Amino acid sequence: MKVAYLGPVGSYSYEAAKRYFDKDQELVACDTIDDVFEAVEENEVEFGVVPVENSIEGSVSTTLDYLLKSQVYIEKEIILKVEHYLCAKEEKKQILTIASHPQAFSQCHDYLRKNFKQAKLIQVSSTSYAARLCAEGEVDGAICSPFAAEQNNLKILAGPINQDNNYTRFFVITKSPNFKKGDKNKTSIIFSTYDKPGSLYKILAIFNLYDLNLTKIESRPAKTNLGEYVFFVDIEGFVDEEDVSDALKVVQRKSTFFKLLGSYSVILPDE
């Protein structure tokens, strides 16, 4: 069985895939989120692993757009704690150039300003690519995950050096809607409403009526007509619960567009 993920080896998506799938699965690195979705849709792989929120490796909006237009379902949610470390090939070498993703630099801003004010920061497209550049000797240091450091035989010099406790959510996607219940479950849907005041409010009234808690709501332009929006909503609960299934039936009837993305359980980070 093959699993596509947003590469390269050592990326957070790779780490998420390793958390969920056992060793027998063949992991296939993809260059972009698009490629992961396409590999799943075209049956080249059975599963895909993509970042969906607060990622430092790719755009959440790309994932949301593909969830809207692709025929795939959410199989599982994986939450990883994102911690950045300063890594290098040798421990004593002076650090004059540091590579990382712009958002990782952003999250390590205070540490860098205090300790490496003179260093040249090289912005690259992912923290795992930064680790590879460092391993190849192109830069003196990389800001990356311990996982990426290990994959590239780098030593950890300091960390975690980021300011906030950051978490990234990943979805495992697949073509067959084979929803499995776990301890902590969520159900994700997309719907559109008429473009007039109060139409979103009327849909939320349905969730309120069935005592359902929304854990996420996000609006995005529908890209059909200007002013039309689609809403991405996550609710607590599994589709086999009566409140959930009844509420979804009414939402589907009262919205102009409706799509069930999946009902799934969540893997939380080790604390």
Q: Which residues are catalytic?
A: 168, 170
Q: What is the largest CA-CA distance in the chain?
A: 65
How near is the Cβ of 151 to a copy of itself at its closest, in Å?
A: 18
Q: Is 164 in the site for a copy of itself (CB under 8 A)?
A: yes
List the Cα angle 197/202/204 in 5-degree steps.
115
Shortest reach from residue 2's CB to a copy of itself, in Å: 21
Minimum distance from CB of 193 to a copy of itself (Å)? 11
Residue 21 or 200 having the CB closest to a copy of itself: 200
21 vs 152, which CB is nearer to a copy of itself? 152
Name the token pair of 58.
Answer: 């790719």
Query: Hey, which residues between 171 and 210 contact a copy of itself (CB under 8 A)?
Result: 196-198, 200-201, 204-205, 207-208
How far from the centroid of its chain's Cα atoms is residue 37's Cα?
13
**DSSP-assigned letter for residue 266:** E
- The number of residues that bind a copy of itself (CB under 8 A) is 46
Q: Which of 13, 62, 127, 128 binds a copy of itself (CB under 8 A)?
A: 62
Q: Is 58 in the site for a copy of itself (CB under 8 A)?
A: yes
Burial (CB count <10 Å: 0-12, 13-18, 19+), residue 141: buried
- Residue 269 as a binder of a copy of itself (CB under 8 A): the answer is no
Q: What element of type H or E holds 77?
A: strand 73-82
Name 3's Cβ contacts closer than 8 Å, sequence gap at least 6: 17, 21, 25, 26, 27, 28, 45, 46, 47, 48, 49
Binder among 214, 240, 249, 256 for a copy of itself (CB under 8 A): 214
150 binds a copy of itself, rule: CB under 8 A = no
Interface with a copy of itself includes 242 (CB under 8 A)?
no
Q: Considering only 80-88, 138-146, 216-224, 257-265, which stretch makes contact with a copy of itself by CB under 8 A?
A: 216-224
Nearer to a copy of itself, 79 or 158 (CB): 79
Q: What separation in angstroms does the CA of 225 have from each of 68, 147, 253, 259?
A: 16, 44, 21, 19
Give ∠ CA 138-139-141 in degrees, rounded to 5. Answer: 145
The three-state secondary structure class of 114 is helix
Count CB-CB contacts under 10 A for residue 136.
Answer: 10
Coil, strand or helix at 166: strand
Q: Which range in 56-64, 70-78, 145-153, 154-162 contacts a copy of itself by CB under 8 A?
A: 56-64
Structure tokens at 70: 């692709």
69 to 128, contacts with a copy of itself by CB under 8 A?
A: 101-103, 105-106, 109, 121, 123-126
| Closer residue to a copy of itself, CB minimum distance, 147 or 207 | 207
211 binds a copy of itself (CB under 8 A): yes
Q: Are 102 and 113 in contact (CB under 8 A)?
A: no
Contact footprint for a copy of itself (CB under 8 A): 31-34, 54, 56, 58-62, 101-103, 105-106, 109, 121, 123-126, 129, 164-165, 167, 196-198, 200-201, 204-205, 207-208, 211-214, 216-219, 221, 223, 231
